[in-house]
Amino acid sequence: MFPEATVRSQVLQPPYIYRWAVLIAATVILAALVLRAFQPDPAAADKAPAAPPKPAPVKQVSPVAADVIRQLDTTGKIVALTFDDGPDPEQTPQVLDLLAEHGAVATFCMVGAQARRHPDLVREVVDAGMRLCNHTVHHDERLATRPAAAIEKELLDAGAALRDAAGADVPIGYFRAPGGNWTEPLAKTAAQHGMRPLGWSVDPRDWSRPGVKKIVAAVEKNVRPGSVVLLHDGGGKRDQTVAALRTLLPWLTDQGYRFTYPA
């Protein structure tokens, strides 16, 4: 009886041994796979995203005089036309057409928010041979009372909007305070960033829509050699200004005036 049991045991033993061997081997393989999954992949490290490129350096500008230009330093019959609060998709192209028709040039004091909305018009103004003037981002007429950091941000952000639209190399040589509300710190901040503070000597108050005849009469009465004339191509409906310009441009030419930029 015992020999028979021993033989049976010997017959049954090998399969169990194999099963344990297979189970142990599978466990070892599984553990190896798990460990490998958590190990860093050297190839992945080589594929890590590159650091973002450094921004292009800001073009350095030289400080300029901080006195506000209100009148040109000339005794000749020269006038500087300026247009505020654009660009505007309806009025700015009409103004450009009239200037081109009469061989006139002008300076456009643009609001940064408008330049962002209509970058094509900023380029059109520059391509027409006109000059740009920084008129802040939001046309805040109380800007001069704000903290220095807020003032600088308005000027720099507006300048960035104009350059993004017109090109980094397009000069922005002037700054005009919203509402003409100047303070010495505001003028100095503009000057430190290479922009001459730009005021005016003739204001027909066209923004108030007094009527075409009154706009024309105010300019004709007050213009002098070297005058800086304030007009508007944006900030509201400016059809009266456009209509007045149709009369004023030929009248100024007939009076012997030539057109130039503020200096």
Asked whether the beta carbons of 93 and 124 are under 8 A apart, the reply is yes
**Percentage of residues in the chain with pLDDT exceeding 70?**
77
For the purposes of burial, counting CB atoms within 10 Å of the CB of 83, is it exposed (0-12), middle (13-18) or buried (19 or more)? buried
pLDDT tens for 98-151 read 999 999 999 999 999 999 999 999 999 999 999 999 999 999 999 999 999 999
pLDDT reported for residue 50: 54
pLDDT at 22: 45
Spell out the residues 6+ positions from residue 186 whose beta carbon is closer than 8 angstroms to its own: 143, 144, 151, 177, 197
Measured CA to CA, the distance from residue 197 to residue 27 in angstroms comes to 81
Structure tokens at 169: 């190399």
Pick the closest to residue 117 from 97, 156, 88, 144 (CA basis): 88
| Catalytic residue chosen out of the listed positions 88, 206, 232, 233 | 232
Question: Is pLDDT above 90 for 162?
Answer: yes
Give 14 or 224, the one with higher predicted confidence: 224
DSSP annotation string for 88-116: -TTHHHHHHHHHHHTT--EEEEE-HHHHH
Catalytic residue among 84, 88, 206, 233: 84
Neighbours of 71 (CB within 10 A): 16
Of residues 203 and 50, the one with the higher pLDDT is: 203
CB 138 within 8 A of CB 111: yes
CA dist 126 and 130 (Å) reads 5
What pLDDT shows up at residue 61?
78
Phi, then psi, of 129 in degrees rounded to 5: 90, 15
Residue 236 has pLDDT above 50, yes or no: yes
pLDDT at position 34 over 70: no
* 193 is known as an active-site residue: no
β-pairing, 131-134 with 228-232?
unpaired
Give the torsion sign (CA, 142, 147, 152, 154). negative
CA distances from 182 to 23, 76, 152, 251 (A): 88, 28, 14, 32
Parallel, antiparallel, or unpaired for β 131-134 and 258-259? unpaired
142, 179, 140, 141: which is closest to 157 by C-alpha?
A: 140
Q: Crossing angle of helices 148-166/184-192, nearest 10°?
A: 40
Least trusted range by pLDDT, from 23-32, 39-48, 96-105, 242-251: 39-48
pLDDT at 16: 46
Q: Check if the beta carbon of residue 262 is closer than 8 Å to that of residue 198.
A: yes
102 a catalytic residue: no
Q: What is the mean pLDDT of residues 241-255?
A: 98
Average pLDDT over all residues of the chain: 86
